[in-house]
Amino acid sequence: MHDIEPFFKWRSYYIASEDTKSPFYKRQYNEFSFTNKIYNYFIHPQWDSIGSPTMYAKILFVDYNETIAVIELIGEWNDLLHNDIMFLKRELIDKLVFQGIHKFILLCDNVLNFHGDDDSYYEEWWEDVKEEGGWIAFLNLRDHIVNEMQRISAQYYVNFGENFNEINWQLFLPKVLIKNVESQIYNQTKQLDY
């Protein structure tokens, strides 16, 4: 796991540690010392702690004018034992919402497992963003994670599933990815209206 770096090809567009509004502003990284772990496995030092012992994040892109953030995750998403959604919501999402962010894309390629508890934090997150025309999308969830998220009814608050798992986001520039995700959300909403 120590070889898995956060996606770095968008650094010319955004760097969280240089953004005065970011929760990770002025964060310094030691490229030679691996200190963060998920279970017994060291992870790359570029990942940011959100307080969870099993999940880390990296803000890859923020556009305050468009009120959108793209966040990459790594680890095990464990709401049952560690209440990871609480850490994600309180330590990262709430701080971005406070700065005016209402649209969230979470890149979940490196989320290996999900253990759900209930949907209350997902519902709270949805309530925080919906009045401003916001939305939440999870990309590239593994099939067993999709099943578990559906079991706790997260689909009522978060966009995820087949259409969102077919987006090869690494090939896009941030604005193109955002338009692609917004198009999927619009198409999904349009289908639900019939």
Give me the CATH number covering residue 88.
Answer: 3.30.750.24
Residues 6+ apart with CB under 8 A from 107: 7, 60, 70, 71, 72, 73, 139, 140, 169
Parent domain of 176 = 57-192
- Cα-based angle 145, 69, 130 (whole degrees, multiple of 5): 80
- 62 belongs to a structural domain: yes
CA distances (Å), origin 187, targets 96, 138, 163 = 26, 16, 10
pLDDT for res 194:
44
Q: What is the DSSP letter of 148?
A: H
Residues 93 and 103: beta-carbon distance below 8 Å:
no
pLDDT digits (tens, 9 = 90+) for 28-52: 988 778 888 888 888 999 999 999 9
Residues 6+ apart with CB under 8 A from 129: 97, 102, 103, 104, 135, 136
- 138 belongs to a structural domain: yes
pLDDT for res 192:
52
Structure-token pair, residue 191? 């289908």
Residues 6+ apart with CB under 8 A from 185: 135, 137, 159
pLDDT beneath 70: ranges in the chain: 1-2, 189-194
pLDDT for res 19:
98
Bridge partners, residue 115, by sequence:
78
Structural domain count, the chain: 1
E strand or H helix at 97, and its extent? helix 94-98
- 137 belongs to a structural domain: yes
- 127 belongs to a structural domain: yes
pLDDT for res 162:
93
- 66 belongs to a structural domain: yes
Q: How far apart are CA 102 and CA 129, in angstroms?
A: 5
- 86 belongs to a structural domain: yes
- 5 belongs to a structural domain: no
- 3 belongs to a structural domain: no
